[in-house]
């Protein structure tokens, strides 16, 4: 008699504890995103290095913080269950609880709320990442092929292209300016992948994809092919150099002769 009463009160206090904790997940998850300016760790990701990528980076941080809470609570509950309710000695028959409607509704509804919040922030960032400027500062045509890349600046008539093994092309970009890319493939599906920009997009045959980069830092980066495309898929590398606008102009002039 006492045992079953104790069990019931244990269940209730667990439900209350879990409710409080889970209830604050949503709030804290949201706060995490808002507070993203204040030193939340990167959790392994690159910081984005472009306006678009930086936005993705903060979304990643928010998702990760939410995951720590949800995953953490779940693991703690699981660990508690397996430690506390281990069979010790004589096998007695515990109270045969078939369910608890309130609890079941709770652990259905709270995840829906959490997921809705994640979706809200996702849509905001997604719109930012996928926006293509009407009048960008720069346009670049990217063509993928087995097994290399061609970058063409239509305004300047400048082309850089993979010339062979270890002879990867350079994509030169001016810092702080928005470049719109047109991406297409000549043969199979390739993936234009910039790890340090937190971004990738498929190069498809017969379909052109558009996206923007607004680089924030002058630095050198390495780009790769992400979508498996055959024998030398691992070798489809390219360099991205983000430089001051004046340096970009010099680079353009230097390449216009060839």
Partner 1 sequence: MVQTAGVVEHERKAPGGFYKWVTSVDHKVIGKNYMYTALTFMFIAGAMALLIRTQLFNPNGHVVSLQTYNELFTIHGSMMLYLFAGPFAFGGFANFIVPLQIGAPDMAFPRLNNLSYWLFLFGGVTMLFGFFTASGAAAFGWVAYAPLSTAPFSPGPGADLWIVSIAMVGFSGIFTGVNLMTTIFYLRAPGMTMFRMPLFTWSMLVTGILILIAFPVLTAALVMLYADRHFGAHFFSVAGGGVPVMWQNLFWFFGHPEVYILALPFFGIVTELIPVFSKKPIFGYRGMVFANLAIAGLSTGVWAHHMFTTGVVLLPFFSALSLLIAVPTGVKVFTWIATMWGGQIKFNTSMLFAVGFIFAFVMGGITGVMLASPPIDFYTHDTYFVVAHFHQVLIGTTVFAGFAGIYYWYPKLTGRFLHEGLGKWNFWVTFIGFWITFMPQYLLGLRGMPRRIPIYSPTDGFTFLNRMSTVGAYMMGIGMFLFLLNFIISWRRPRPAGDNPWDGYTLEWATSSPPPPHNFHSLPPIRSARPLWDLNHPDHADSVPMVTGGDESAE
Q: Does residue 250 bind partner 1 (CB under 8 A)?
A: no
Q: Is 23 in the site for partner 1 (CB under 8 A)?
A: no
Q: Report which secondary-structure segment, H or E, holds 184.
A: strand 179-185
Sequence-separated (6 or more) residues with CB below 8 Å from residue 74 = none
Do residues 71 and 114 touch, judged by C-beta distance below 8 A?
Answer: no
Which of 189, 218, 239, 247 touches partner 1 by CB under 8 A?
189
Interacting span for partner 1 (CB under 8 A) from 33-41, 66-74, 151-159, 242-250: 66-74
Give residues 140-179 in contact with partner 1 (rule: CB under 8 A): 146
* Bridge partners, residue 48, by sequence: none
Q: Which two tokens stand for residue 194?
A: 């910039």
List the one residue from 149, 168, 199, 248 that touches partner 1 (CB under 8 A).
199
Number of residues written out for the chain? 258
CA–CA separation, 184 and 207 (whole Å): 6
Quick check: 111 binds partner 1 (CB under 8 A)? yes
Between residue 77 and residue 96, which ones bind partner 1 under the rule CB under 8 A?
77-78, 81-82, 85-87, 91-96
The residue whose two tokens read 């699981």 is 78
Q: Which of 159, 209, 218, 247 binds partner 1 (CB under 8 A)?
A: 209
* Complex with partner 1: residue 146 or 170, whichever CB lies closer: 146
């Amino acid at each position: 008699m006492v045992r079953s009463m104790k069990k019931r009160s244990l269940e209730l206090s667990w439900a209350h504890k879990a409710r409080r904790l889970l209830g604050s997940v949503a709030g804290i998850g949201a706060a995490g995103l808002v507070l993203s300016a204040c030193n939340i760790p990167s959790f392994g990701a690159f910081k984005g290095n472009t306006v678009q990528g930086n936005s993705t980076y903060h979304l990643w941080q928010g998702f990760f913080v939410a995951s720590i809470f949800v995953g953490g609570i779940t693991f703690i509950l699981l660990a508690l269950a397996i430690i506390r309710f281990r069979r010790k000695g004589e096998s007695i028959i515990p109270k045969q609880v078939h369910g608890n409607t309130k609890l079941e509704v709770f652990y259905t509804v709270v995840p829906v709320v959490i997921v809705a919040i994640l979706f809200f922030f996702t849509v905001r960032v997604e719109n930012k990442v996928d926006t293509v400027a009407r009048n960008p500062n720069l346009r670049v045509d990217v063509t993928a092929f087995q097994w290399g890349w061609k970058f063409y600046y239509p305004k300047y008539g400048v082309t850089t292209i993979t010339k062979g093994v270890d002879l990867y092309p350079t994509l030169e970009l001016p810092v702080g300016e928005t470049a719109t890319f047109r991406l297409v493939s000549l043969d199979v599906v390739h993936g234009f992948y910039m790890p340090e920009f937190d971004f990738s997009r498929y190069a498809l045959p017969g379909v052109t994809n558009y996206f923007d980069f607004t680089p924030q830092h002058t630095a050198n980066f390495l780009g790769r092919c992400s979508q498996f495309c055959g024998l030398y898929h691992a070798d489809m590398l390219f360099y991205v150099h983000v430089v001051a606008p004046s340096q970009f102009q010099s680079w353009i002039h230097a390449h216009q002769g060839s």
